[in-house]
């Protein structure tokens, strides 16, 4: 224990109580968090320390330190990724023989590995929604100059996002950060992503988690198509006549609808001034999430934020407050509409869904009930019915709970 080294921004003394002298695969079940685990290049285990769930990965010391540093950088520049917690090095067994280091990351609350997602929603459409989220993540990484080098569903965690999913980076062991990526580097990541994902979907088919008639190759190809669509929208130079200046605003609005903000535009004209070219210079993701945060302080995924903002706009219209200051209407909406709905979640069920996702699902449930009953079901009635008939059957996603899939092989790295 004397040679044990802990690298962390805020070391937790409770880490010293863990059995670092034992290989991670031999740690007793009594100290492990009961989360699904399985085949991986490295041994991965989950433990609860000081009330938090941590993911531990046994790995070479240099790789552990490199991945820890890379994750810190990615989080600083706003990339959705797991949070690095510590690196434990200088380990030795009871005989004094040196052992690999351990990289520790915080478990991402309300996140699911792709296999856990498919255990709940076994449809080909689920694969498309996961890949759509992965395409958005990959575009964001490439815009920042990050070369992943190991793109796969296995190295990604997913959070529900108002009917879609948001993807988070888990494993950056092979990743490198550059000022910008070449087309060849981006193509390599895409080709690897397609190959890995097709294999993972075939594996799901073999495990009867998706329809055997689904075409993994077609789904893999759709990842590339979605990526190309996003990349073009965010980076392509567009030319138009000088008297069509409105197209500048139209381009910005289109990027906003995709969930991106434009930090800067490059505008150039030809020699005679008849043609203007426009190209986004800096594009930041999270347009709607930032707007919602500014107006209400609510931290939500991008699609969740878009849904909440739509409801906010409807509230302003219903209460005839279109001419009022946006911040004033948002404050009233939050107090009179959003918070009462979220507070309806019983304390015993608050680990099932994030509050913005619960709000989204209640809105969906209200629409469903109204369609079924042929009347406008009051919100209070929809909330009560959802809490009684739907929420109890949802798995606790705060800490990756799916008892039905505890035996499934889930790759975490």
| pLDDT tens digits for range 319-372 | 999 888 999 999 999 999 999 999 999 988 888 888 999 999 999 999 999 999
CATH of domain 112-235: 1.10.510.10
Contact of 186 with 79, CB cutoff 8 Å: no
State how far the Cα of 302 lies from the Cα of 295, in Å rounded to an integer.
Answer: 15
Tell which CATH classification among 3.30.200, 1.10.1220, 1.10.150, 3.40.50 matches the domain 5-107. Answer: 3.30.200
State how far the Cα of 2 lies from the Cα of 36, in Å rounded to an integer.
Answer: 33
State how far the Cα of 120 lies from the Cα of 135, in Å rounded to an integer.
Answer: 22
Contact of 129 with 121, CB cutoff 8 Å: no
- Domain range summary for the chain, segments of one domain joined by +: 5-107, 112-235, 238-285, 344-408
Beta strand pairing call for 111-112 and 156-161: antiparallel
219 to 121, 180, 197: CA distances (angstroms): 16, 28, 9
Contact of 189 with 143, CB cutoff 8 Å: no
Residues in CB range of 185: below 8 A, 6 or more apart: 147, 178
Contact of 252 with 262, CB cutoff 8 Å: yes
pLDDT in tens, the chain (413 residues): 447 899 998 888 899 899 999 999 999 988 888 665 444 578 888 898 888 889 999 999 999 999 999 999 999 988 999 999 999 999 999 888 999 999 999 988 888 888 878 776 656 678 888 889 999 999 999 999 999 999 999 899 998 888 888 999 999 989 999 999 999 999 999 999 999 999 998 988 888 877 777 888 998 899 999 999 999 999 988 888 888 878 888 888 888 888 888 878 888 888 777 788 888 877 788 889 999 999 999 999 999 999 999 999 999 999 999 888 999 999 999 999 999 999 999 988 888 888 999 999 999 999 999 999 999 999 999 999 999 999 998 877 766 433 333 333 333 33
Which residues in 251-266 are b (16+ Cβ under 10 Å) and which e? bbeebeebbbbbeeee
Sign of CA dihedral 170, 173, 179, 182: negative
- Token couple for 364: 């969906």
Point out which residues pair with 98 in neighbouring strands: 92
State how far the Cα of 313 lies from the Cα of 215, in Å rounded to an integer.
Answer: 40
Q: What is the CA radius of gyration of the chain?
A: 24
- Token couple for 335: 């107090």
φ, ψ at 110 (rounded to 5°): 65, 20
């Amino acid at each position: 224990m004397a040679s044990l080294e802990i690298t962390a921004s805020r070391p937790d003394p409770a880490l010293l109580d863990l059995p670092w002298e034992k290989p991670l695969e031999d740690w007793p079940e009594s100290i492990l968090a009961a989360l699904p685990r399985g085949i991986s290049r490295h041994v991965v285990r989950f433990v609860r320390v000081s009330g938090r769930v941590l993911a531990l990965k046994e790995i070479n010391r240099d790789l552990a330190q490199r991945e820890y540093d890379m994750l810190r950088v990615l989080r600083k520049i706003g990339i959705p990724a797991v949070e690095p917690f510590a690196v434990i090095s200088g380990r030795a067994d009871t005989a004094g023989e040196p052992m690999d280091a351990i990289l520790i990351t915080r478990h991402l609350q309300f996140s699911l590995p792709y296999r856990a997602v498919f255990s709940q929603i076994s449809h080909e459409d689920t694969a498309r929604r996961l890949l759509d989220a992965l395409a958005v993540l990959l575009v964001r990484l490439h815009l920042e100059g990050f070369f992943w080098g190991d793109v796969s569903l296995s190295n990604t965690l997913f959070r529900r996002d108002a009917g879609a999913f948001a993807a988070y980076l888990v494993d950056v062991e092979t990743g490198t950060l550059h000022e910008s990526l070449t087309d060849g580097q981006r193509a390599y990541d895409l080709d690897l992503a397609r190959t890995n994902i097709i294999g993972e979907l075939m594996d799901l088919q073999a495990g009867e988690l998706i329809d055997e008639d689904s075409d993994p190759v077609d789904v893999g190809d759709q990842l590339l198509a979605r990526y190309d669509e996003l990349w073009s929208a965010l980076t392509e130079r567009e030319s138009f006549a000088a008297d069509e200046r409105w197209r500048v605003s139209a381009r910005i609005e289109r990027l906003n609808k995709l969930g991106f903000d434009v930090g800067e535009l490059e505008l150039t004209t030809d020699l005679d001034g008849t043609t203007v070219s426009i190209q986004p210079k800096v594009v930041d993701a999270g347009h709607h999430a930032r707007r919602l945060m500014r107006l209400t302080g609510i931290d939500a995924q991008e699609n969740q934020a878009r849904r909440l903002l739509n409801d906010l706009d409807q509230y302003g219209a219903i209460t005839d407050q279109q001419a009022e200051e946006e911040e004033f209407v948002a404050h009233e909406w939050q107090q009179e509409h959003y918070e009462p709905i979220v507070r309806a979640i019983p304390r015993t069920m608050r680990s099932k869904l994030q509050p913005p996702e619960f709000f989204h699902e209640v809105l969906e449930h209200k629409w469903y009930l109204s369609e079924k009953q042929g009347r406008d079901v009051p919100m209070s009635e929809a909330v009560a019915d959802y809490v009684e008939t739907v929420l109890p059957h949802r798995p606790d996603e705060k800490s990756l709970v799916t008892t039905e899939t505890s035996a499934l092989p889930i790759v975490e790295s």
